[in-house]
Amino acid sequence: MKWTVDRYPPQPSRRDVLRGALAAGASAALGAGLVSCGSRSDVARTADAGPWRQFQGATLNLISENTAPTAAIAAHTKPFTDLTGIEVRIVTLELSALVQRVALDLASGRAQYQVIYADPYQVLAPYQRGLVDLRSLQADPNLPDLPGGVGDFIPVQMDAAGRFADPEPFYALPYDAPTMIWQYRRDLFEKYHDRMAGDLGFDPTPGGDRTWEEYFRIARWFNENAASDVRYGTGHQARQHDSLMNDFSNVLWSYGGTYFDNGREVGRLGTRDPGPCRLDSDAAIAGAEFYNRLLSIADPASKTWDWDGVGAAFRAGRLAMCPNWHEFAASNETALPGRVGYAVLPRGPVATANMYGGTGVGISGNTLPHERGAAWLFLVWATSPETQLANLRSEAGGGTPTRTSVYEMPEVRAAERRPSPMPNMLTAAAVRQAWQPDRIGLRPKIPMWNECNTAIFTQLSRMLSGAESPRETMRSIKSRVDRIVARGWVA
């Protein structure tokens, strides 16, 4: 389908983007002044070279978080250069550093980075007006279409990673899809299954029928009965960090708690005005009380770990189970071949929720017309079924596909069973369930989320240290978040 829109929409207001960069803490660097896009030259275009070779000789810069798909693409950019004649330089940073760098670049009026890893919460929501509405490029008859169209991307991921507020425009294409699932030592669950079932009075096999209360009892059983095989029943990414918000949110949502009213819609499409925070509800407080109790029996080092820390502890044989991002499967299968199982997270009294952490790739609104076309070629190639399949096979990294068609390929379906040449596909049955609209966990996609997130994990850390009760913590977070939202955001 071709959309009727301006081919190259106007750039965002320089003043608007500058405000966004200042909010990201970049005011000092911006003091040197802004440089006009008009003072630089566009890349050359050879009109008769064909859609894929028309910008040969150009150089693109991609800025990305240091993620598995980017590691795979960085190791295999030659096929893109051979196809297009375009060189790609990739800069990878920790997410908070990336956000600040992107804010500065958008404020500069230039496009040092033409292609941007647009985290939905820290880049897309606050800086949406600084990104290109990709419909304009999909509609350009001189540029290649997306293979399979937008509809080939998993719908909930297309909304969460690609859109903001309005369901029509899209500013990024789904690029990676890390999702939190239940990872467990399959060998230990098989060894102790009958004994656990007898002691606990239920089938302990991990899956969507298990509850968080049962998860707690399984973890405590391992603590008390399996010291010869494993030190702790569960571990968590509960450091004072973004990881703590992710880990807690799975429990919050399953207990019926929500950050804001209409939480699913605020997570899926996003909004600039989410209204009052709802973490002071009885359901949210009950979720916090359970999470605090769960952490009391978890590996004590959990309070020092982010996702990498808990992942390393699990691979080292220290934990019987943990919630973590599904893309850790590749390293799990190297360290513990054949001994790890994967399932959706437990359900709570109200629902089940599996935190989605996926991100899209977009194009800077500061790009010039031909530069923008070259960036579109890269987006089409990087998210194509062929490239996603190559990422799955890559020894350098590689996430899991964001396209329905890739999951339908016979070789990808076969890789869901051991022995698997694509170990991340061993999680496919779990993530397919986790990506269902009623199961996926979507944090609020609001421009001020980064500041809200910091308030959330800071107060949760106080709760886990015993400085505040769960009820006090939820009320403190609500108060802080309401103040942040009331200040608003212009970008």
Q: What is the mean pLDDT of the chain?
A: 91
Q: What band does 223 get if pLDDT is binned at 50, 70 and 90?
A: very high
The pLDDT score that the predictor gives to residue 412 is: 97
Q: Provide the pLDDT for residue 431.
A: 97
Model confidence pLDDT, tens digit, residues 338-396: 999 999 999 999 999 999 999 999 999 999 999 999 999 999 999 999 999 999 988 87
Which pLDDT score, from 0 to 100, does residue 465 have? 97
Whether 116 shows a pLDDT value over 70: the answer reads yes
Least confident of 233-237, 308-312, 394-398, 474-478: 394-398
- Of 2 and 349, the structure prediction assigns the larger pLDDT to 349
The pair phi, psi for residue 453, each rounded to 5°, is -55, -45
Lowest mean pLDDT, pick from 30-39, 126-135, 182-191, 201-210: 30-39
The pTM score is 0.90
Structure confidence at residue 491 as a pLDDT band (50, 70, 90): low
Quick one: pLDDT band at residue 68, thresholds 50, 70, 90? confident
The token duo for 331 is 């390293």
Domains and CATH numbers, the chain: 14-178+358-408 (3.40.190.10), 181-355+441-487 (3.40.190.10)
pLDDT score recorded for residue 255: 98
How many angstroms separate the CA atoms of 200 and 180, rounded? 26
pLDDT above 60 (res 34) = no
Residue 256 has pLDDT above 70, yes or no: yes
3-state secondary structure the chain: CCCCCCCCCCCCCHHHHHHHHHHCCCHHHHCCCCCCHHHCCCCCCCHHHCCCCCCCCCEEEEEEECCHHHHHHHCCCHHHHHHHCCEEEEEEECHHHHHHHHHHHHHHCCCCCCEEEECHHHHHHHHHHHECCCHHHHCCCCCCCCCCCHHHECHHHHHHHHCECECCCCCCEEEECCEEEEEEEHHHHHHHHHHHHHHHCCCCCCCCCCEHHHHHHHHHHHHHHCCCCCCEEECCCCCCCHHHHHHHHHHHHHCCCCCECCHHHHHHCCCCCCCCECCCCHHHHHHHHHHHHHHHHCCHHHHHCCHHHHHHHHHCCCEEEEEEEHHHHHHHHHHCCCCEEEECCCECCCCECEEECCEEEEEECCCCHHHHHHHHHHHHHHCCHHHHHHHHHCCCCCCCCCEHHHHCCHHHHHCCCCCCCCHHHHHHHHHHHHCCCCCEECCCCCCCHHHHHHHHHHHHHHHHCCCCCHHHHHHHHHHHHHHHHHHCCCC
* pLDDT > 90: percent of the chain: 88
**Tens of pLDDT along 438-473?**
999 999 999 999 999 999 999 999 999 999 999 999
What confidence tens digit (pLDDT) does each residue in 10-22 have?
333 333 333 343 3
Question: Residue 412 is encoded by which pair of tokens?
Answer: 């990808």
User: Is the pLDDT at 2 greater than 70, yes or no?
Assistant: no
